[in-house]
C-alpha cells in the first residue's frame, strides 16, 4: 500500500524514484542504536525477555510458541552479538502452572537473532493453555493461547480479531490493546504490513513523527529488518495482544518494501540498495525469525488452517509470485500472462475452496479483491485519494496493486466459485487503510442485476494514513463527501469509511459471518479509546452483505 503517486512509462518499466536512496555506510553507522537506548540496564547480565512472548497458527493438537531472549545488554536485535543461551518452555492448563502438560528446551543463538520457536503438539483441541519461557533463572511473562477445534467438531461459533497496517511512527497501537482486553478471541488475524520499511519521517505521519523507527534509516539488510521487528515488539499493546491469543499472520508489501512484486519493489533501488533477491531473502528470514508463523510452501505465507466444521481459512501470499504492477489504463491489467497469485497458489486456492466441507470458506487476503472504480470526485479529493490508492492523479478506474491490476486471476477464481456452486466464501482484507463491506460480483458493470460470487470485509489501518490524514483535515470530513461518491460508482460496495483507524472482530456461526468494525478516538494518543462503528454480515448461502445494527 502506498501513499505516493505511481507513474510508470510502460508496463515493464520501474517507477521513478520519489525518495532519497539510502547509503550503505550511513545505514551501518546507526544500526541498532535507537533500540539499545530503550533497553534497561541489567547489572548481572542475566537473560531477559524484552520482546514479549507469542503464539500462532493454532492446530487441533498444537500451537507454535515464540519468544526472543536477550542474553546480554549488547545482544540487541540485529546486532549479531551475544552468546548461545538455553531457553526452556512450559505449557500448562492454568496460569499458575500447577498442571503442566508439556515442556522442553532449545538453544537461542545469534544466528537466529536469539529468537526461539517451539512447535508444540499433543495438546487437546479447542482448549486454552498458558505458556512461558525461561532462561538463566529468568521467566518470561505468562501468556495465553488456544488450540483449534477438532477437524470434525460441530462448532457453534468463533471470534477472530482482524487488523492490518501498523506504522510505528504514525501513532500508538491502541487497537491491539483493545483487542487484547476483550478476552473472547479464539485467535487474531494480521493481514499484512505488520511492520513498515521506511526511514524516519519518510512515510505518512501528518508531518509529526510520534515515535521514531529503529533503525532510523530505511531497512535493507538482514540486520536492519531484525532491528525493525525488534522495535515493534517492544510495544506494550502489541505484546499484550500476542499474550492474549494466537496470531494468524500473512505478509503484504511493507514487510519487504512498498509495492513489492516477485522481481523488485517500488521502494527499492537495484544496485544502490543491493540486489532485490538479497533484500527479499533478508526480509523473509527476519519475518520467520520474529513471527510465530510456520513457513509454508517454499518459505511463503500461503497455507490453510481449519476450525472444525465451521470454517477453513486459506491464507495467501500476494507478493512472492506476482507480476510487476502496470500503468493504469493501458489494457495490460487483463493480460492472462500476468499473475497476482502465481499458478501453483491459484490452483491450490481453487482446489481448497472446492473440496472444503466447512460452513464457511475464509480467505486471508492482503489486497482488496472487490473491483473499485473512481467516479467524478472533486480535484481536492481526487489527488489525495489517488495518492493513497496508488492511482494516477488524473483519476482512472483501477488500482493496479490490488486484484484490479490482475483481472485474469480474479476472473478465473470467481468463475471457479460460480461453476462449482461454491458458497459462503468470505475474503478478509487489509492494505487499503479504509474500512469496506463489499459484495464481490462476477460482473461489476451489471451489478446488482448480475450475481455476487462472494463477500469481502476490509479492515482499516491500525495507524497508517487514512484519506483525512493525507488531506490534513478533521477526521470524518473526507469520508462524508467521498463515501457516497465511491458507493455510487461501485454498487457492490455497501460501506466505506475513508478516515478512521481501528480494527475488526469477525464473529462466525453456521448461519452467518459478521464483521464488527471498531474505531479509535486517536492514533496519536497512547490512551485512545475504542468505539463500535458499524456491523455487516453475510448470511449463509446469500453471497451478499447486509448491515446489522448491533455488534455481537
User: What are the residues facing 538 on neighbouring strands?
Assistant: 513, 545
pLDDT score recorded for residue 255 = 98
Instruction: Give the pLDDT confidence of 56-70 residue by residue, as tens digits.
Output: 999 999 999 999 999
Band of the pLDDT at 13, cuts 50, 70, 90? very low
Instruction: Give the pLDDT confidence of 450-499 residue by residue, as tens digits.
Output: 999 999 999 999 999 998 888 888 888 888 888 988 898 899 999 999 99
Do residues 223 and 300 both lie within one domain? Answer: yes
**Does 14 fall in a domain?**
no
Range 236-254 average pLDDT = 98
Contacts of 311 (CB under 8 A, 6+ apart): 158, 358, 359, 360, 361, 362, 508
Do residues 346 and 463 both lie within one domain? Answer: yes
**Does 26 fall in a domain?**
no
Q: Which of 146, 170, 204 is the last residue of a domain?
A: 146
Q: Residue 82 belongs to what domain range?
A: 47-146
Q: 113: domain CATH number? A: 2.60.40.380
Q: Which of 146, 177, 211 is the last residue of a domain?
A: 146
**Does 10 fall in a domain?**
no
Band of the pLDDT at 44, cuts 50, 70, 90? low
Angle at 211 between CA 208 and CA 212, to 5 degrees: 95
Contacts of 15 (CB under 8 A, 6+ apart): 6, 7, 8, 259, 266
Please name which of 212, 240, 286 lies closest in space to residue 35, comparing C-alpha atoms: 212
**Does 30 fall in a domain?**
no
pTM: 0.89
Range 24-28 average pLDDT = 30
Nearest-angstrom CA–CA distance, 328 and 297: 32
**Does 41 fall in a domain?**
no
User: Per-residue pLDDT for 30 more than 50?
Assistant: no
Do residues 141 and 212 both lie within one domain? Answer: no
* Proportion of the chain above pLDDT 70, given as a percent: 87
Do residues 420 and 538 both lie within one domain? Answer: yes
**Does 152 fall in a domain?**
no
Do residues 272 and 223 both lie within one domain? Answer: yes
**Does 369 fall in a domain?**
yes
Other C-beta atoms closer than 10 Å to the C-beta of 547 total: 11
Do residues 528 and 454 both lie within one domain? Answer: yes
**Does 465 fall in a domain?**
yes
Q: 325: domain CATH number? A: 3.60.21.70
Band of the pLDDT at 4, cuts 50, 70, 90? very low
pLDDT score recorded for residue 22 = 30
Do residues 277 and 349 both lie within one domain? Answer: yes
Report yes or no: 182 and 4 within 8 Å, Cβ to Cβ.
Answer: no
Report yes or no: 125 and 149 within 8 Å, Cβ to Cβ.
Answer: yes
Please name which of 345, 397, 396 lies closest in space to residue 366, comparing C-alpha atoms: 345
Instruction: Give the pLDDT confidence of 162-203 residue by residue, as tens digits.
Output: 999 999 999 999 999 999 999 999 999 999 999 999 999 999
Do residues 164 and 142 both lie within one domain? Answer: no
Do residues 112 and 172 both lie within one domain? Answer: no
Report yes or no: 143 and 130 within 8 Å, Cβ to Cβ.
Answer: yes
Query: 537 vs 432, 457, 494, CA distance in Å?
Result: 20, 9, 11
Instruction: Give the pLDDT confidence of 373-399 residue by residue, as tens digits.
Output: 765 455 556 556 656 665 533 334 458
User: Per-residue pLDDT for 249 more than 50?
Assistant: yes
Nearest-angstrom CA–CA distance, 172 and 529: 12
Minimum mean pLDDT range among 7-21, 292-306, 456-470: 7-21
Instruction: Give the pLDDT confidence of 77-133 residue by residue, as tens digits.
Output: 999 999 999 999 999 999 999 999 999 999 999 999 999 999 999 999 999 999 999
Do residues 79 and 114 both lie within one domain? Answer: yes
Range 136-152 average pLDDT = 97
Do residues 211 and 138 both lie within one domain? Answer: no
Report yes or no: 2 and 401 within 8 Å, Cβ to Cβ.
Answer: yes
Q: Which of 123, 146, 169 is the last residue of a domain?
A: 146
- Phi and psi at residue 381, in whole multiples of 5°? -90, -35
Please name which of 81, 214, 211, 59 lies closest in space to residue 149, comparing C-alpha atoms: 59
DSSP string, 288-305: HHHSS----GGG-S-EEE
Do residues 122 and 233 both lie within one domain? Answer: no
Tally the domains of the chain. 2
Minimum mean pLDDT range among 101-105, 280-284, 351-355, 376-380: 376-380
Amino acid at each position: 500500500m502506498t501513499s505516493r503517486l505511481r507513474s510508470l512509462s510502460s508496463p515493464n518499466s520501474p517507477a521513478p524514484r520519489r525518495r532519497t536512496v539510502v547509503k550503505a555506510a550511513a545505514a551501518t553507522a546507526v544500526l541498532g542504536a535507537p533500540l539499545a537506548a530503550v533497553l534497561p540496564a541489567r547489572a548481572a547480565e542475566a537473560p531477559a525477555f524484552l520482546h514479549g512472548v507469542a503464539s500462532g497458527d493454532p492446530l487441533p493438537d498444537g500451537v507454535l510458541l515464540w519468544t526472543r531472549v536477550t542474553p546480554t545488554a549488547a545482544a540487541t536485535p540485529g546486532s549479531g552479538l551475544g552468546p548461545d543461551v538455553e531457553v526452556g518452555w512450559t505449557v500448562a492448563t492454568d496460569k499458575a502452572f500447577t498442571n503442566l502438560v508439556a515442556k522442553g528446551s532449545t538453544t537461542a543463538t545469534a544466528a537466529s537473532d536469539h529468537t526461539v520457536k517451539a512447535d508444540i503438539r499433543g495438546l487437546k483441541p479447542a482448549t486454552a493453555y498458558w505458556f512461558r519461557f525461561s532462561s538463566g533463572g529468568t521467566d518470561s511473562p505468562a501468556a495465553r493461547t488456544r488450540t483449534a477445534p477438532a477437524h470434525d467438531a460441530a462448532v457453534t461459533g468463533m471470534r477472530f480479531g482482524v487488523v492490518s497496517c501498523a506504522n510505528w511512527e504514525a501513532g500508538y497501537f491502541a487497537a491491539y490493546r483493545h483487542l487484547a482486553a476483550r478476552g473472547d478471541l479464539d485467535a487474531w488475524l494480521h493481514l499484512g504490513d505488520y511492520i513498515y520499511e521506511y526511514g524516519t519521517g519518510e512515510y505518512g505521519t501528518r508531518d509529526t513523527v510520534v515515535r521514531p523507527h529503529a533503525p532510523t534509516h530505511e531497512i535493507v539488510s538482514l540486520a536492519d529488518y531484525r532491528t525493525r521487528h525488534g522495535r515493534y515488539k517492544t510495544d506494550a499493546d502489541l505484546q499484550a495482544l500476542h499474550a492474549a491469543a494466537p496470531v494468524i499472520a500473512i505478509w503484504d508489501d511493507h514487510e519487504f518494501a512498498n509495492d513489492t512484486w516477485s522481481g523488485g519493489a517500488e521502494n527499492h533501488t537495484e544496485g544502490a540498495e543491493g540486489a532485490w533477491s538479497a533484500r527479499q531473502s533478508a526480509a523473509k528470514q527476519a519475518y520467520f525469525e520474529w513471527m510465530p508463523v510456520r513457513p509454508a510452501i517454499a518459505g511463503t505465507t500461503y497455507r490453510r488452517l481449519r476450525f472444525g466444521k465451521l470454517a477453513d481459512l486459506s491464507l495467501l501470499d500476494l507478493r512472492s509470485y506476482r507480476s510487476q504492477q502496470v500503468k493504469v489504463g493501458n489494457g495490460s491489467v487483463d493480460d492472462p500472462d500476468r499473475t497476482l497469485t502465481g499458478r501453483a497458489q491459484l490452483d491450490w486456492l481453487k482446489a481448497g475452496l472446492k473440496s472444503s466441507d466447512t460452513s464457511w470458506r475464509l480467505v486471508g487476503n492482503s489486497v482488496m479483491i472487490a473491483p473499485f472504480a473512481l467516479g467524478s470526485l472533486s480535484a481536492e479529493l481526487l489527488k489525495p485519494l489517488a495518492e493513497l490508492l496508488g492511482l494516477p492523479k488524473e483519476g482512472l478506474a483501477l488500482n493496479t496493486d490490488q486484484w484490479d491490476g490482475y483481472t485474469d486471476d480474479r476472473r478465473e477464481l470467481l468463475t471457479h466459485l460460480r461453476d462449482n456452486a461454491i458458497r459462503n466464501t468470505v475474503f478478509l482484507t487489509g492494505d487499503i487503510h479504509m474500512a469496506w463491506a463489499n459484495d464481490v460480483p462476477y460482473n461489476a458493470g451489471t451489478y446488482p442485476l448480475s450475481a455476487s460470487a462472494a463477500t469481502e470485509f476490509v479492515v482499516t489501518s491500525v495507524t497508517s494514513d487514512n484519506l483525512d490524514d493525507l488531506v490534513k483535515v478533521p477526521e470524518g470530513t473526507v469520508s462524508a463527501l467521498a463515501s457516497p461518491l465511491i458507493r455510487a460508482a461501485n454498487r457492490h460496495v455497501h460501506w466505506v469509511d475513508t478516515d478512521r483507524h481501528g480494527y475488526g472482530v469477525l464473529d462466525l456461526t453456521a448461519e452467518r459471518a459478521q464483521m464488527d468494525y471498531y474505531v479509535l478516538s486517536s492514533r496519536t494518543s497512547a490512551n485512545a479509546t475504542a468505539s463500535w462503528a458499524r456491523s455487516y454480515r453475510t448470511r449463509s448461502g446469500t453471497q451478499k452483505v447486509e448491515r446489522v445494527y448491533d455488534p455481537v
